[in-house]
Every structure is written in structure tokens, then in C-alpha cells.
Amino acid sequence: MDSHKKLFVLGDSISMHYGSYLKDFIEPDFSYTRKGEGEAAGDLNMGSAVNGGDSKACREYLKMLLADKSRHYDILLWNCGLHDIKTTEQGRQVELEEYRANLEDGVQQVLAKGDIFLIWLRTTPAFEEVHNRACPEFKRFHKDVIDYNKVADAIMRANNVPVIDLYRFTLKFGTEAVADHVHFVDEIRKLQAAFIAGSIFALVR
């Protein structure tokens, strides 16, 4: 494996939480950065300069990131989904077919560059019995996580994009792993980072 490959992370607040641990695990073999690196996190639930947000926001951010000729990354670790499935009386923030279109567009943007190794992370569980009791502003449903992950799986499989199954890894820890409504306690964040780091070392040689 070549040393000092540059890894860029585009993801939601789950990735913000495990990010510092992931950085420790993969350096010095990989350099680590993410969207909004060094900026204030802001509101983790409503989006921020650091949070990748929903698939629509990611799609637009990728256009800017990939057009910036002053920066180059060898690996892009990408996830979105938890913001997409936010549900109010008006429906989901991003409905399933729009999610599909946004992911397909984002994947094609990255693959068209030809020199970035794309890795997709499956969306982590939303334990609705915890989330919907603790978060009155909007709801999340576990079935939506499953459905949106299936759509992402199919897109990544069709484009030969490797997938890290953070959903299945995290699911087994159950509701006791949840710190608030959808984020995880520190011990789980460290375990997620270790799992992702091991997967990256296995995928990138």
C-alpha cells in the first residue's frame, strides 16, 4: 500500500463523532480530512458547515469539491441517509426516488474523475422507539433506514463501489448504544472508527 494517501470524508454527524478516532487509527498511512475541517460543528441535527447533510446537499457539495483543482483526494468515504429520512407531516425530507437520483448522480460525478477511490458507508440504525420519543421536531423510522440502504446498496453494486456495512456493525449494540436520539455513546464511536479503519486498510492496498 502506498503511504500517505489522502482520505476525504463526506458524511453526517455520525461521521463527525467517530472522525477523530478514525483519524488516529489510519494515520500515518492515510491523511484525514472532511467537509468543513477545522470549522465549528454547529447544530448537529439541523446541518452545519461540517455536516454533509442529506443526499441533495451532498450532490451539490460534490460538484464544488470535485471542481476544485487546488485539492485532490485519493479516497472519498461517503454517506448520507439519516437527514433524508427525517419525517414530518409533509413527508420525508428527501423521498426515496429523489434519494436514488441524488446518489446515482453523486457516484457518477466521482467515478468520472477516474482517480478517486469511492467507498460508501451504509447508514446507521435509527432506533425509532428512542429517537421519536426524544426528538419532537421530526421523526425517523427504522424501516426507512432499511429501504434507503437497499437503494444505496443497489447503486453501489451496479457501479462496483465497495461498501462498509456500518449499519449491521452498529445494529447489534442495540438501544443502549444511543447517547441521545440517533447519535452513539463514545465507546461505540471508537468501535465504529476501528471497524471503518480496518475496512479501509483491507480495501486500499
| Domain coordinates in residue numbering, the chain | 5-203
State the CB neighbour count (10 A cutoff) for residue 200.
22
DSSP characters over 159-196 = TT--EE-HHHHHHTT-GGGBSSSS-B-HHHHHHHHHHH
pLDDT average, residue stretch 122-140: 93
pLDDT in tens, 22-65: 999 999 999 999 998 765 544 444 456 789 999 999 999 999 99
CATH of 5-203, one of 3.40.50.300, 3.40.980.10, 3.40.50.1110, 3.40.50.2300: 3.40.50.1110
**What pLDDT does residue 189 have?**
98
Q: Please state the rounded mean pLDDT for residues 66-79.
A: 94
Residue 3: count of CB within 10 angstroms of its CB: 8
For the chain, give the mean pLDDT. 93
pLDDT for 88: 96
Distance between CA atoms of residues 36 and 4, nearest Å: 21
46: left (phi over 0), alpha (psi -120 to 50) or beta: alpha
Q: How confident is the model at residue 136 (pLDDT cuts 50, 70, 90)?
A: confident
Instruction: Give the residue among 108, 85, 109, 110 at the shortest CA–CA distance from 96.
Output: 85
pLDDT at 2 over 50: no
What integer pLDDT is reported at residue 205 of this predicted model? 78
| CB-based contacts of 146, cutoff 8 Å, min separation 6 | none
Structure confidence by residue, pLDDT tens digits, 171-198: 999 999 999 999 999 999 999 999 999 9
The strand pairing partners of 134, in sequence order, are none
- Using a pLDDT cut of 70, give the percent of the chain over it: 93
The pLDDT assigned to 3 comes to 55
pTM, to two decimals: 0.93
Q: Could you give phi then psi for residue 131, rounded to 5 degrees?
A: -60, -50
